[in-house]
Amino acid sequence: MKALRRLFHRLTSWATSARDEVLLRAEFEEHIAMQTADNLRAGLSPSEARRQALLKFGNVEAMKEGYRDQRGLPLTETLVLDTQHALRRLRKTPVFTGAVLLTLALGIGANTAIFAVIDGILIRPLPYPDPEALIRIGTSAPGLPGLPDSLGCSPSMYFTYREENRVFQYFGIWYVAGASLTGIAEPEQPRALFVTHGVLDALGVKPLLGRWFSETDDTPTSPETVMLTHGYWQRRFGGDTSIVGRTLTIDSTPRTVIGVMPANFRFQGDPELILPQRFERTEQSLGPFSSQGIARLKPDVTLEQAKADVARMLGIWLFAWPLPPGIDFTPFQNARLAPRVEPLKQDIVGNIGSTLWVVMGALGLVLLIACANVANLLLVRAEARQQELAIRAALGAGRGRIAREMLVESMTLGVLGGALGLGLASAALRLLVARGPDTLPRLDEIGIDPFVLAFACGVSVLAGAVFGVIPILKYAGPRVATALCGVGRTFSNGRERHRVRNTLVVVQVALALVLLIGSGLMIRTFQQLRSVPPGFTHPEEIQILHSTIPEALAKEPEHVMRMQHEILDRLAAIPGVVSVGFGDAAPLESFLRNGNPVYAEDITLTEGQVSPIRRIRKIAPGYFKALGTRLIAGREFTWTDLYEKRRVAIVSENLAQEWWGVPGAALGKWIREGGPADPWREIVGVVENVYDNGVNVKAPEFAYWPALMDQYIWGGKDGVAVSFGMFAIRSSRTATQGLLAEAHRAIWSVNGREPVFLVTTLKTLYDQSMARTSFTLVMVALAGGMALVLGIVGLYGVIAYVVSQRTREIGIRTVLGAQPAELLATFVRHGLVLAGIGTALGLMAAAGVMRLMSSLLFGVTALDPVTYLAVSALLVAAAVLASYLPTRRAIAVDPVKALRAE
């Protein structure tokens, strides 16, 4: 109770301290005046009376200090005072302060930004209630080579899993695709999420307006419905709340809007519309695995239990459904189908973690180097203040008091730098969110939240402490005598005084080398990627557009093909267009990949063996010419091939080599897709490999079919034509508004205002396929560049300081006849020794650390000797320059002037 009351008094008196100070002085004065009066009465002379009174009272300032300690909050007060002092001192040296703050702001800002990215992507839970219970369900088929690691779920699985499971609270399947919205001024192709009942229930995000899909919406005979996401509702309908109940024409079907999702609803693929999936149960077979499964586990069900349950249901499913048309049971038997069950977050985040942690590590090293630099600057500063500190120590300032003051100065720098860094980070993040690579998941969830803020504060304070402690250890000690006489002309500087600084520089050089090697390896990786011929040429000239021929316009395959042909001719007639191509997808369009086993007539499989999955693409004449894919043997398709429905095929070089050794030998061979339902087709051409999965992975083997066929495994009785197709336009006017407008007109003049979508250039697709590498490259190179500059500035600073301290010595030696070259060599050698030790340490560290990066490298090993040598040479050269420049300046000074210096 007493203590509380005292604290209260201390707090209030802290606030009124200025007035109290005056009163206190008055009280003391009065005390001394009374004593003086008594002394006078006792017969002392006036001056002696006052002197005795003062003596008796004791040291007024010490009393005040003691009084103050009692009164306010002494620690806080001195802290405030010390901070004020520190700020004043920092203001007096704007260059030093500016340099330190800039260094710290960059270091802390970069680390805060990347931490915000890591927080947003990896750490923060998914934006759904109780997100740990959400899992993704897929299928793996290790027995079928050529398939992706993880397949999705089929509609038949949806029925089996929904009905047989014991562990799911909700279960549903979904996929994202385009849906054309027509009947409005500008037809468009919004991104649509197709869900079954159970997907939204599993996510648990309630709609803002209207209702969720019910089981009725999934029933094929019920009225068609649609939901909107918040962003699309705002953008397209201005947030009009009367939207619920209105009708929109989507994919030529009128649908009633039943609800709008809230603004905080997020989902993979960033959908704009949500549509129900309706399956006719009687029409389902085992395939296709094109949807993703999502489930919310019942409380207390573990991931392992879920896996076991899905494995059990997979066994039921395999024998409960008919085979897909034209495919026999062998592939299913040999596929070794297994469930792939993982937390939803893992599915969304993917393997981006390794990249992000590498970048974070690199930027962390940069911050360390920055701290070393700042510590060096502070050392110089402390040395300049050594005499002042010694005098204060002599006058009774304790080691702790001086240390506290120095620490407060460093902390002030740290916090100010951190504040600036936070500003930089938030600007950088805004830029990243606005135009970051699409391959970064959860991009729009990245931002500065309290957690990131706490990180920034922590890093700032920690940085302040790290670089603040070094000068304290060295100078706050009570070595009054040495300090007082050791400064000035009497002594030359001892070796010992430079040891700390030298160590710091060695550490800086070593860290910088590690980062530079990292950047070097990334640059080599990028070069290697760029040097892979991707299977197309000058992608920047290739404009890509997609559009569709609606069934209402043409149903008969040949009619569809004629219309696509018509569009192609009109596109080719646009001024500036060199060539045009048509097919079901462009290279690198990952979302439109098609694959199936392909069989060759003369290659017999051993019993039980399954033919690997090959990539299938359906194309029209001109496709390869427009993309720049080289023909290696034979010929391209012709329009006659298509319209006469000849059974022809083209294969990629790697497929021809695998089966027949040399590409030319493939000509005249017969192949088909899937099984007996597909007719044999004769190979008429072999083309170069197209790196359809990105240049960093093996090029898939391709089979190209004509865009119009009379009989096809997936087609109907009348044959099949590509109605949902891609147009590739090679032109010097690619990506200009003019070309796009003319291309739209050409397409619309034939298909009657169906939306044109997925408009991009092949260059964009190509860059996106390397986005992760270029993102890492840019970040690591940025870190490497900063490290190089900071490290070299640090070295320069040390050499310049050493030289400036030894200016007199240089003067004396010059007068005595020393050659400038010799003197130069002395200092440059000093710099070289430091850089040499740093490089050696750095090389050892790099050899260990770079292993962590190996998953990001391509075509270059983590111990690439060329990179290691080149980077070391670069660093040593920079070190020589950094030592040479300040020395030369000192030597050029007139010796007389040098001797008079100080």
To other proteins, the closest distance from the beta carbon of 69 in angstroms equals 7
Number of residues that bind other proteins (CB under 8 A): 29
Site for other proteins in 303-332 (CB under 8 A): none
User: If you compute the radius of gyration of the chain from its CA atoms, what whole number of angstroms results?
Assistant: 38
Q: Which is nearer to other proteins, 71 or 672 (CB)?
A: 71
Q: How many angstroms separate the Cα of 73 from the Cα of each of 8, 17, 19, 95, 252?
A: 10, 10, 16, 35, 76
To other proteins, the closest distance from the beta carbon of 70 in angstroms equals 5
To other proteins, the closest distance from the beta carbon of 67 in angstroms equals 5
To other proteins, the closest distance from the beta carbon of 370 in angstroms equals 44
Q: Which is nearer to other proteins, 51 or 479 (CB)?
A: 51
Site for other proteins in 751-770 (CB under 8 A): none
Q: Which is nearer to other proteins, 9 or 399 (CB)?
A: 9
User: What is the Cα–Cα distance from 394 to 698, expressed in whole angstroms?
Assistant: 74
| Interface pick for other proteins out of 2, 91, 92, 495 (rule CB under 8 A) | 2
Site for other proteins in 542-571 (CB under 8 A): none
Q: How many angstroms separate the Cα of 80 from the Cα of each of 75, 215, 392, 459, 465?
A: 9, 66, 20, 22, 18
Q: How many CB atoms lie within 10 A of CB 5?
A: 9
To other proteins, the closest distance from the beta carbon of 480 in angstroms equals 24
Per-residue binder mask for other proteins (CB under 8 A), 256-275, x = binder:
--------------------
Q: Which two tokens stand for residue 659?
A: 């089966």
Q: Which is nearer to other proteins, 71 or 546 (CB)?
A: 71
To other proteins, the closest distance from the beta carbon of 42 in angstroms equals 13
Q: Which is nearer to other proteins, 41 or 717 (CB)?
A: 41
Terminal Cα distance for the chain, rounded = 61
To other proteins, the closest distance from the beta carbon of 34 in angstroms equals 4
Residue ranges of alpha helices (H) inside 716-819 are: 737-751, 762-769, 771-805, 807-815
To other proteins, the closest distance from the beta carbon of 399 in angstroms equals 18
What are the residues whose beta carbons fall under 8 Å from the beta carbon of 801, sequence distance 6 or more?
A: 380, 501
Q: Which is nearer to other proteins, 40 or 484 (CB)?
A: 40
Q: Which is nearer to other proteins, 35 or 139 (CB)?
A: 35
To other proteins, the closest distance from the beta carbon of 35 in angstroms equals 6
Q: Which is nearer to other proteins, 14 or 748 (CB)?
A: 14
Give burial (CB, 10 Å; 0-12/13-18/19+) of 336: exposed
Q: Which stretch binds other proteins (CB under 8 A): 22-30, 39-47, 735-743, 890-898?
A: 22-30
CB 509 within 8 A of CB 839: yes
Q: Which is nearer to other proteins, 67 or 714 (CB)?
A: 67
Q: Which two tokens stand for residue 623?
A: 């496709």
What are the residues whose beta carbons fall under 8 Å from the beta carbon of 875, sequence distance 6 or more?
A: 509, 512, 513, 516, 788, 791, 835, 838, 839, 842
Query: What are the backbone dihedrals phi and psi of residue 291, each rounded to the nearest 5 degrees, phi first?
Result: -105, 160
To other proteins, the closest distance from the beta carbon of 53 in angstroms equals 9
Q: Which is nearer to other proteins, 44 or 592 (CB)?
A: 44
Q: State the DSSP code for 120.
A: I
By the rule CB under 8 A, 19 interacts with other proteins: no
Q: Which stretch binds other proteins (CB under 8 A): 20-28, 173-181, 431-439, 653-661?
A: 20-28
Instruction: Establish whether the linkage from the previous residue to 288 is cis, with ω within 30° of 0.
Output: yes
To other proteins, the closest distance from the beta carbon of 29 in angstroms equals 9
3-class SS at 863? Answer: coil
Q: State the DSSP code for 699.
A: P
Site for other proteins in 24-83 (CB under 8 A): 24, 26-28, 30-31, 33-35, 37-38, 56-60, 62-63, 66-67, 69-71
CB 367 within 8 A of CB 175: no
Per-residue binder mask for other proteins (CB under 8 A), 716-735, x = binder:
--------------------
CB 259 within 8 A of CB 226: no
3-class SS at 524? Answer: helix
To other proteins, the closest distance from the beta carbon of 402 in angstroms equals 22
Q: Which stretch binds other proteins (CB under 8 A): 2-10, 302-310, 484-492, 844-852?
A: 2-10
To other proteins, the closest distance from the beta carbon of 401 in angstroms equals 18
User: Within 13 Å of residue 165, how many CA atoms lie on the same side as its CB?
Assistant: 22
Q: Beta strands 247-250 and 708-709: pairing type? A: unpaired
User: Within 13 Å of residue 264, how many CA atoms lie on the same side as its CB?
Assistant: 8
User: What is the Cα–Cα distance from 356 to 360, expressed in whole angstroms?
Assistant: 6
Site for other proteins in 843-902 (CB under 8 A): none
To other proteins, the closest distance from the beta carbon of 30 in angstroms equals 5
Q: Which is nearer to other proteins, 21 or 270 (CB)?
A: 21
| Interface pick for other proteins out of 16, 19, 23, 262 (rule CB under 8 A) | 23
To other proteins, the closest distance from the beta carbon of 476 in angstroms equals 23
Site for other proteins in 612-651 (CB under 8 A): none
| Interface pick for other proteins out of 5, 92, 489, 698 (rule CB under 8 A) | 5
Q: Which is nearer to other proteins, 13 or 805 (CB)?
A: 13
CB 799 within 8 A of CB 502: no
Q: Which is nearer to other proteins, 10 or 646 (CB)?
A: 10
User: What is the Cα–Cα distance from 709 to 617, expressed in whole angstroms?
Assistant: 13
Beta bridge partners of 600: 671
SS3 per-residue string spanning 308-362:
HHHHHHHHHHHHHCCCCCCCCCHHHHHCCCEEEEEEHHHHHHCCHHHHHHHHHHH
Q: State the DSSP code for 132.
A: G
Q: Which is nearer to other proteins, 33 or 391 (CB)?
A: 33
Q: Which stretch binds other proteins (CB under 8 A): 18-26, 395-403, 520-528, 759-767?
A: 18-26
CB 424 within 8 A of CB 105: yes
Give burial (CB, 10 Å; 0-12/13-18/19+) of 746: buried
What are the residues whose beta carbons fall under 8 Å from the beta carbon of 80, sequence distance 6 or more?
A: none
User: What is the Cα–Cα distance from 285 to 347, expressed in whole angstroms?
Assistant: 26
Buried/exposed 605-643: b ≥16 CB within 10 Å, e otherwise: eeeeebbbbbbbbbbbbbbbbbbbbeebbbebbbeebbe
For the chain, the farthest-separated pair of C-alpha atoms sits apart, in whole angstroms, at: 138
Q: Which is nearer to other proteins, 6 or 499 (CB)?
A: 6
Q: Name the helix (H) or strand (E) containing 883.
A: helix 865-892
To other proteins, the closest distance from the beta carbon of 52 in angstroms equals 11
User: What is the Cα–Cα distance from 275 to 604, expressed in whole angstroms?
Assistant: 45
To other proteins, the closest distance from the beta carbon of 392 in angstroms equals 24
To other proteins, the closest distance from the beta carbon of 456 in angstroms equals 39
Q: Which is nearer to other proteins, 58 or 752 (CB)?
A: 58
Q: Which is nearer to other proteins, 23 or 481 (CB)?
A: 23
CB 371 within 8 A of CB 463: yes
Q: Which is nearer to other proteins, 3 or 95 (CB)?
A: 3
Interface ranges with other proteins (CB under 8 A): 2, 5-6, 9-10, 23-24, 26-28, 30-31, 33-35, 37-38, 56-60, 62-63, 66-67, 69-71
